[in-house]
Amino acid sequence: MALWAIALYHDTGMTAANQERVLRGTGVTPLSGVGTVFGYDPDADLSLPDPPDPAAVEADAELGRFRRARERVRENLAAERERTAERVGEEEAEIFDAHRQFVDDPEIEAAVEARVGEGLPAEHAVDAAFADAIEQFEAAGGVTAERADDLREVRNRLLRELLDAEVSDLSALPAGAVVVAERLGPGDTAQLDPEAVGGFATATGGRTSHAAIMARSLGVPAVVGLGEELLTIADGTTVVVDGDAGEVVVDPTEERQERVREAGRDVAVRHDPVATVDGRSVEVAANIGTPAEAPGARDQGADGVGLFRTEFLFLDRAEPPGEDEQYEAVVDVLETFEGDRVVVRTLDVGGDKPVPYLDTAAGENPFLGVRGVRLAPGERADLFETQLRALLRAAATDAGDGLAVMFPLVATVEELDDLLARVEAVAASLEEAGLPHRVPELGVMVETPASAFVAGELAARVDFLSVGTNDLTQYVMAADRGDERVAGLHDPRHPPVLRALDRTVRAAHDAGAWVGMCGEMAGDPDLTELLVGLGFDELSMSAVTVPAVKERVTETDAERAEALAERALAAETLADVEDLLAEEGAE
């Protein structure tokens, strides 16, 4: 089996020099490195010979082989799920539940049985049955197409059992290695040791693929979707893998390599709150998806949780979670961060996060349709009320003083007024039922130009605003964040986006509300000084970047940062902003 590896040091991204060749893809984690390319082929040793004469195939025997292989795969998936839950978290471990569903899928089983009935051996039948399913997933496009890699991984597991092929062992990679491959499945990624391996780069895949999700949770630098050109790079070629910019730079200059190595030094974890050089406090929190991620975020020094994405409680299941399950999940996180703030976002599905059992029409453009509060409470008031009941009850627990709740995709004052009225109604129903409850801090996510324009009116009604820069950039620039053709427009440093941020912060402060940021922009240490200068009180990000951002806050002079922000707001083009930030970083 071929293995490609890149000896890697951590960083936050560089810019390309003219003599360098740059491959562009999708960054998965905001970490980068420099090293030498080798390769890994997940399909190695799985090629099939021509099938025998159908008359020579004993159907019952082949079906028996298939069922025994399937049982061994079930056992292996259960073991990997348990290891992943202990090592990474429950959310990531649930990926293997999805694989188990593919193993037991009745349509795939029927397709295998039909192919065996036509005279194919078990391995050929499995290959053919999964090929049809993979083709259907890829034809669907978008996030659904990314699930095709999960089907490939399940197929490969079955084929290895049937062919008695060698199982890849990526846990034994040399220190500082990054796997480079056409694609990786979550099973491959779960094997990687984040303390030893540097990361990975793949020709295919997207940010929402299970391998990408696993990489972010492990804190492994990664770039996906780089295209077939990635696989043409000769073994031994020096490259820089920039997980922040989503680039692989071939034949980087010595200067670039040195900058990456220098920037990749270990950053000490700071468990105490941090402040700028001149004493301005900035809260540095973590984004999480499940309670299982909270201890890891705390261990990285997060001051609390700036975004608890509760939609993950609703995914990969047949029905929504009940009130008690949601209550227990929130209390679990509150207890992990007792004494610190935990900001919970109410259900935010739709757009790039469909939930099949909710049976909501996607519409011609899901990002402009029913999502966020337009779904819950919009079309599904029951889901919103159940979640609110759980949240208000959690706020009344011993650890509940730190709870804050924010509403996603609010675009109008009328929407917010309706949401606040619903909170009052739920509180009244809990009072009537004699259940302990408390209305926590309430806030609004600023994700649209509309909410930025009425930020003052929104802030006057709530305790805080929190900017989701991923969606805000998408809507301000009219650039689908999943469309690579307009990737250049999906950059929060564009002047229109910076001015929307400035407007939001000023409006919030004028209304007496604090303002945070929970988009990916918050986790880029190269932008920390700018965000401090714009006046953000809180920055929330992937836990892996908390130490680097905290360090950058302590190195920042708030007065100088404000001057930088003023210059950035006066810039006319993205290039102007890039030059300004590069100049500031060089000083």
CATH of the domain at 465: 3.20.20.60
199 in Cβ contact with 216 (< 8 Å): no
Q: Are residues 321 and 421 in the same domain?
A: yes
Q: Are residues 313 and 334 in the same domain?
A: yes
Q: Distance of CA 498 to CAs 69, 305, 525, Å? A: 55, 24, 17
pLDDT at 12: 35
pLDDT at 420: 97
Please provide residue 323's backbone torsions phi and psi, each rounded to the nearest 5 degrees. -60, -45
| Residue 516 vs residue 263, higher pLDDT | 516
Please provide residue 287's backbone torsions phi and psi, each rounded to the nearest 5 degrees. -95, 130
pLDDT at 370 over 80: no
Q: Are residues 350 and 422 in the same domain?
A: yes
- Summarised one tens digit per residue, pLDDT across range 334-360 is 999 999 999 999 988 765 556 666 766
Whether 541 is in a domain gets the answer yes
- How many whole angstroms separate alpha carbon 422 and alpha carbon 417? 9
| CATH number of the domain encompassing residue 124 | 1.10.274.10
pLDDT at 100: 87
pLDDT at 144: 61
Q: Are residues 84 and 150 in the same domain?
A: yes
Q: Are residues 432 and 560 in the same domain?
A: yes
Q: Distance of CA 541 to CAs 54, 130, 273, 480, Å? A: 57, 37, 15, 21
Q: Are residues 35 and 176 in the same domain?
A: yes
pLDDT at 13: 37
* Among 293, 322, 320, 321, CA closest to 306: 293
- How many whole angstroms separate alpha carbon 125 and alpha carbon 132? 11
Q: How many domains does the chain have?
A: 3
Expressed as residue numbers, the domain containing 405 is: 275-586
- The share of the chain scoring above pLDDT 70, in percent, equals 89
Which of the listed residues 206, 241, 263 is the one where a domain comes to its end?
Answer: 263
pLDDT at 237 over 60: yes
Whether 292 is in a domain gets the answer yes
Q: What letter would DSSP give residue 166? A: P
Whether 405 is in a domain gets the answer yes
- How many whole angstroms separate alpha carbon 478 and alpha carbon 471? 10
Relative orientation angle of helices 210-218 and 148-163, to the nearest 10 degrees: 90
pLDDT at 506 over 80: yes
Q: Are residues 557 and 434 in the same domain?
A: yes
**Strand, coil or helix: what is 251?**
coil
Q: Are residues 176 and 223 in the same domain?
A: yes
Q: What letter would DSSP give residue 375? A: I
Which of the listed residues 110, 133, 163 is the one where a domain comes to its end?
Answer: 163
Whether 485 is in a domain gets the answer yes
From 99, 210, 490, 494, the catalytic residue: 210
pLDDT at 197: 76
pLDDT at 90 over 80: no
| CATH number of the domain encompassing residue 190 | 3.50.30.10
Mean pLDDT (whole number) for 444-471: 96
Reduced DSSP (H G I as helix, E B as strand, rest coil) percent helix, strand, coil of the chain, to 5: 50, 15, 35
Whether 251 is in a domain gets the answer yes
Which of the listed residues 163, 184, 209 is the one where a domain comes to its end?
Answer: 163
**Strand, coil or helix: what is 187?**
helix
pLDDT at 306: 97
Q: Are residues 228 and 288 in the same domain?
A: no
- How many whole angstroms separate alpha carbon 447 and alpha carbon 223? 26
From 10, 99, 124, 518, the catalytic residue: 518
Whether 6 is in a domain gets the answer no
Mean pLDDT (whole number) for 311-317: 77
Is 509 a known active-site residue? Answer: no
Mean pLDDT, the chain, integer:
86
Is 518 a known active-site residue? Answer: yes
pLDDT at 248: 84
Choose the most confident range, by mean pLDDT, from 237-241, 321-325, 441-445. Answer: 441-445
pLDDT at 141: 63
Q: Are residues 29 and 72 in the same domain?
A: no
- Summarised one tens digit per residue, pLDDT across range 158-213 is 999 999 887 777 888 777 777 888 988 878 888 888 777 777 899 988 766 777 77
pLDDT at 126 over 80: yes
- Summarised one tens digit per residue, pLDDT across range 12-67 is 333 444 578 889 998 877 677 777 777 888 777 788 889 999 999 999 999 999 99
Q: Are residues 516 and 534 in the same domain?
A: yes
pLDDT at 148: 79
pLDDT at 533 over 80: yes
Whether 270 is in a domain gets the answer no
- Summarised one tens digit per residue, pLDDT across range 396-455 is 999 999 999 999 999 999 999 999 999 999 999 999 999 999 999 999 999 999 999 999
Q: Are residues 507 and 534 in the same domain?
A: yes
Q: Give the CA count within 13 Å in the CB-facing half-sphere of 418.
A: 14
Whether 279 is in a domain gets the answer yes
Give the pLDDT band (50/70/90) at residue 577. Answer: very high
pLDDT at 143 over 60: no
